[in-house]
Amino acid sequence: MTHDPVFDGRLVLPADPDWEDARVGRVFNGRRPDRQPDAVLLAASVADVQRGVRLAKERGWTVAVRSGGHSWAAWSVRDGGLLIDLGALRDIRYEEETAIVSAGPATKGGDELSPYLEERGRFFNGGHCPSVGIGGFLLQGGQGWNQRGWGWACESVVAVDVVTADGELVRADAEQNADLYWAARGAGPAFPGIVTAFHIRTRPRFGFLGHTVHMYELVDFTEVMTWLYEAHHRISTDVEIVVVSLTPEPEPDATEDPKRRLLVTGVALVDDRAAAEAALAPFNECPAIARAVFVQDCRESNLAEQRAAQEVANPEHAQYLTDNIWVDGANTPEGIAEMVEHIRPLFTDPPTPKAFSIWMSNAPMRRDLPDMAFSLQTEAYVASYTVYEDPAEYARNRAWLNEAMAYAQPVTAGQYLGDSDMTNRQLRFMAPENWERLQRVIAERDPEGRFHRYLAHDPGSVNVNHWQLEETGP
């Protein structure tokens, strides 16, 4: 006879009055799934996580994990099995001798970890949206501040503490349990364990944040983007380069609704103003600058201000649909023209005023990635986020996003896990050899399939661009 373990937190069942809140209350996206687990464990400690995994093993349950709740498709909410919610695991510790910070998986990268490190003169290039938990973010690779110059956030992870499929707690790093350490940097939701702490190498906090913004009419999209594709290789790698298509907030005395605009932005994270001005100077070479609606040249900013702007652009509990691509093509006039044209509708024709699309530079790519599961990137990344409030708008937003992504297919190499939704569209996100290696790690570490894999409409064709399957047939 078996007995339920005593938890420091709480095991919530479907009959409990707070079931719905436990199931989806911490899901960021207001577009909540109707999938129903058998139970939700609100873990209050690492020991709870171990007890939960062992309970699942006894009952034959699968296990899903939620860290920050920011997965757009709510990957943590599955039909059947146990959902282990790590929301209480947010402890942070910093070791001055090594400059390594240790943090729980639900720690909010911008709201909690970044201010903690700033007080100590340190920085870690975590996610842009401040409420994103570091767990899913780092497991998927970590598209953080200025990755083009400082690398993917997961490259700063030096070790992880992991609860295994048997409920054991182990440390994984380059010397011990190296297979789990390798997988923890890029495997995403198919990681064969539960990370209860990340140990992260930090860097000295930069001395000055310079922010350049050029605002253009949408008719200038092709000219501006063509120039930027040619110029981003020449811009300092201390500068994050992002283009955003959005509808600005209306001015207080405006008599008309604002029009969608194109913002070209550069954020220089450097030692002082002189270095920022030099790093951002190439933006003023844009041939369309004389027609810019607005130009802000190297205005001093700070991380708190940048985080606040991200919160405005990403309202919690709005309805979101999102998709993304790694854009790839020849770095020739013809190749650049093709790339610019095929991403154009994502920026010029979004279906709702609050929808936005981003183009992020990852150039110049002059280095090999470390030996880790994350392994697919190109010199430019594009993601589109439709934002709406009425659920009746779902079909229109989905149709637009699918059509725009299909138009971008000729210049699509794959996608980034963090902004993907495999229940709708499946693309490659990992190099084939890394994918095969990950399957071996999963088979070794979780042979009974205790942990859920990727949430996909076709689990048998994960990590393959869907049109390649269509071309080859069954």
- What DSSP assignment string belongs to 26-44? T-SSSS------SEEEE--
Which residue blocks in 212-300 are alpha helix, DSSP H?
A: 221-231, 273-280
- DSSP class of residue 167? S
Domains of the chain: 92-205 (3.30.465.10), 208-419 (3.40.462.20)
Please tell me the predicted confidence (pLDDT) of residue 209: 97
In the predicted model, residues of the chain with pLDDT beneath 70 are 1-4, 254-255, 366, 470-474
Please tell me the distance from the alpha carbon of residue 137 to that of residue 75, in angstroms, as a whole number.
13
Please tell me the predicted confidence (pLDDT) of residue 472: 61
* Strand pairing category for 208-216 and 294-301: antiparallel
Please tell me the predicted confidence (pLDDT) of residue 366: 65
Please tell me the predicted confidence (pLDDT) of residue 164: 98
Could you tell me which of 301, 265, 262 has the C-alpha nearest to residue 283? 265
Which residue blocks in 349-465 are alpha helix, DSSP H?
A: 394-407, 432-445
With contact defined as beta carbons under 8 Å apart, do 269 and 146 qualify? yes
Could you tell me which of 135, 155, 157, 159 has the C-alpha nearest to residue 146? 155
Please tell me the distance from the alpha carbon of residue 186 to that of residue 189, in angstroms, as a whole number.
9
DSSP, collapsed to helix, strand or coil, labels residue 245 as: strand
Residue 146 Rama label (left phi>0; alpha psi -120 to 50; beta):
left
Please tell me the predicted confidence (pLDDT) of residue 474: 52
Please tell me the predicted confidence (pLDDT) of residue 223: 98
Please tell me the predicted confidence (pLDDT) of residue 3: 57
* Strand pairing category for 82-85 and 39-42: parallel
